Amino acid sequence: MDAECAASRLRVVLGHLRRPSAATVVAHLTSEAISPASFHPEQFQYTQDNNVLSLEQRRFYEENGFLVIRNLVSEANIERFRNEFERICRKEVKPPGIQLMRDVTIAKSEHNPSEKVITKVQDFQEDEELFRYCTLPEILKYVQCFTGPNIMAMHTMLINKPPDTGKKTSRHPLHQDLHYFPFRPSNNIVCAWTAMEHIDRNNGCLVVLPGTHKGTLKPHDYPQWEGGVNIMFHGIQDYDRNNARVHLVMEKGDTVFFHPLLIHGSGQNRTQGFRKAISCHFAGANCQYIDVKGTSQENIEKEILSLADRLYGIKGDVSMKATLVHDRQEGKKIENRGEEMKDKGYLLNTHKES
């Protein structure tokens, strides 16, 4: 059985490696690029030696755990992602394995399929158009500064924060993304999060607690909010209320890269429009899985497995570590945020072969 599993995983990896855009990305120099000889490696814990980030940018990320790059993704690409999202909402395309989420206040809505119903598209790796985001050279150029040159796309989302109904359910509690990921080391994981329009405090911009990436993974659970909480919107219960907060006001195409231990969240959308962003979590190919049993992540593992059982009838001795199910007859791909690394990840080699 182990040999069969290994062979299956190898076939998947080889399939990922054959993705046409994966091997053609090359890092480009930017202004103020620094030479590796100009600093001592022991100064840096959270960034890789690179010729992309300026010394100021690198130090900022090291100290704060996030970095905003302005106007990184073109308006043309943003519009293509928006159009594809709308096609998915209208059910004109149905990529396998994709998860469509609704806000808790409209979960049982009878509205016709549209962007007014879907608040998040998750696990879009089988949608060729949306997955282009994860292979954009301008994104990977920065991603490898945190993960190293061999990169895997681990978790994908297009977020469509709805106008709040008055129950404040459009909020996302303060949390650490590592809570959802059973692989390490955390310093080789980074999120790329791109604004698809102007985002500020009115429509629920990201709020971050600078420097919290230097801490440890804290226990998470559902907050006790009167209006309700969306599924898997776990939050930190015991963070320092005195920690400074930064609200990230962003324009279309601006992209923030942040560490998985950085405490962050987002406020409610007080406008009448939908606030869109597209994101992917990337990990270095050297990351390894851990067993979360007996840790603070055990509660999210149980919830994921319960959901997999309810939606897909997955039972038995499964875990976040190895639960990839690929039904070739029906074309389903079930991704529970925690499969075997090489199965789950789409390997993106940022070095051109000589």
Please state the domain extents for the chain.
62-333+344-349
**Cβ pair 177, 281 in contact under 8 A:** yes
End-to-end Cα, the chain, rounded Å: 38
pLDDT tens digit at each of 354 positions of the chain:
434 443 343 333 333 333 333 333 333 333 333 334 444 555 899 999 999 999 999 999 999 999 999 999 999 999 999 999 999 999 999 999 888 877 655 555 555 556 677 888 999 999 999 999 999 999 999 999 999 999 999 999 999 998 987 877 777 789 999 998 999 999 999 999 999 999 999 999 999 999 999 999 998 777 776 656 656 667 897 777 788 999 999 999 999 999 999 999 998 999 999 999 999 999 998 999 899 999 989 888 888 787 776 666 666 555 555 332 222 222 222 233 333 344 444 455 443 333
Q: Which residues contact 291 (CB under 8 A, 6 or more apart)?
A: 182, 319, 321
CA 353, chain centre distance (Å): 28
Q: How far apart are CA 261 and CA 255, in angstroms?
A: 18
And the tokens for 214? 């230097």
Q: Which residues contact 162 (CB under 8 A, 6 or more apart)?
A: 103, 106, 116, 119, 170, 269, 274
Nearest to 256 by CA among 78, 30, 27, 66: 66
Q: How far apart are CA 67 and CA 60, in angstroms?
A: 7
Read off the pLDDT of residues 101-125 as tens digits, 9 standing for 90 and up. Answer: 776 555 555 555 566 778 889 999 9
**12 to 7, 33, 45, 345: CA distances (angstroms):** 9, 37, 32, 10
**11 to 4, 155, 245, 274: CA distances (angstroms):** 11, 20, 45, 40
pTM, two decimal places: 0.77
Which H or E run contains 157? strand 150-161
Structure confidence at residue 219 (pLDDT): 87
CATH fold label, 62-333+344-349: Jelly Rolls (2.60.120)
Which H or E run contains 99? strand 99-101
- State the average pLDDT for the chain: 77
Q: How far apart are CA 256 and CA 9, in angstroms?
A: 32
Nearest to 66 by CA among 212, 173, 181, 188: 212
And the tokens for 221? 């659970």
